């Protein structure tokens, strides 16, 4: 499956340039065009999948196996103080390209690259946490 307008599909078709660093059956790792810290790589699915919620088990597993491999390579190549992995799913999560991809981003202490919470998050009671967990577990359908 392919999307003729998707930036990542266009890269995979060879219509746009990319620096490929690794490949697997379901994914390709490319150097991100934006290098806030040198070594930023993104792992994209070979097949057009909107985000992790739409990925089949084989694709999801392969993407994260390649992501782990790339994270180890970025660590070896650039020795960052840390590495963040992130995937945004949907417009409300600021997903910029609607094609499943995982960022492997080298980090430096205090860089504030991924400041997550605009304010301190709520700390629900154990009972509330249990209710949240029960609702999600029920939705899994296992």
Token pair belonging to 65 = 């196996």
pLDDT in tens, 47-102: 999 999 999 999 999 999 999 999 999 999 999 999 999 999 999 999 999 999 99
What is the pLDDT, as a whole number, of residue 2? 85
What confidence tier does 142 reach under pLDDT thresholds 50, 70, 90? confident
Whether the model pTM is above 0.85: yes
Token pair belonging to 42 = 């993104």
**96 contacts 33 by C-beta, under 8 angstroms:** no
- What mean pLDDT is reported for the chain? 94
Residue 121 pLDDT more than 90?
Answer: no
Complete domains list, the chain, with CATH = 7-116 (3.30.428.10)
Q: How far is residue 69's CA from residue 34's CA, in Å, rounded to a whole number? A: 21
pLDDT in tens, 102-112: 999 999 999 98
What is the pLDDT, as a whole number, of residue 114? 79
Indicate the burial class of 63 (C-beta count within 10 angstroms; 0-12, 13-18, 19 or more): buried
Strands annotated E in 32-92: 41-45, 82-86
What confidence tier does 1 reach under pLDDT thresholds 50, 70, 90? low
**30 contacts 21 by C-beta, under 8 angstroms:** yes
Within 8 A by CB and 6+ apart from 50, the residues are 98, 99, 100
Q: How many C-beta neighbours within 10 Å does residue 23 have?
A: 12
Residue 113 pLDDT more than 90?
Answer: no
């Amino acid at each position: 499956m392919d999307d003729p307008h998707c930036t990542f599909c266009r890269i995979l078709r060879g219509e746009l340039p990319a620096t490929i660093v690794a490949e697997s059956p379901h994914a390709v790792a490319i150097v991100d065009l934006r290098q806030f810290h040198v070594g930023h790589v993104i792992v994209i699915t070979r097949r057009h999948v909107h985000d992790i919620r739409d990925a089949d088990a084989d694709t999801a597993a392969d993407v994260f196996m390649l992501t782990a491999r790339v994270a180890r390579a970025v660590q070896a190549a650039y020795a960052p103080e840390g590495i963040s992995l992130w995937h945004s799913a949907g417009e409300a999560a600021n997903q910029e390209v609607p094609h499943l991809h995982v960022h492997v981003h080298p980090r430096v202490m205090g860089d504030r690259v991924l400041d997550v919470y605009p304010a301190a998050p709520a700390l629900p009671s154990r009972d509330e946490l249990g209710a949240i967990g029960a609702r999600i577990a029920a939705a899994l359908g296992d």
